[in-house]
Amino acid sequence: MNDSYPKSGKTLYLNIIWHQHQPLYLDPESDQLQGPWVRTH
């Protein structure tokens, strides 16, 4: 496998964003989670 790539001479700025927030699907009347199961496991 040849891993040689042409070089442009320009800088590549890379920003990796890792976002794991899940909204809270809480029903205030029953005090129960109503959303996706992944929040509760």
pLDDT tens per residue across span 1-41: 677 877 888 888 999 988 777 677 788 898 887 776 654 45
- Strand, coil or helix: 39: helix
Residue 16: what pLDDT?
92
Residue 13: what pLDDT?
92
Alpha-carbon distance of 10 to 16, in angstroms, equals 19
**Does the global pTM surpass 0.85?**
no
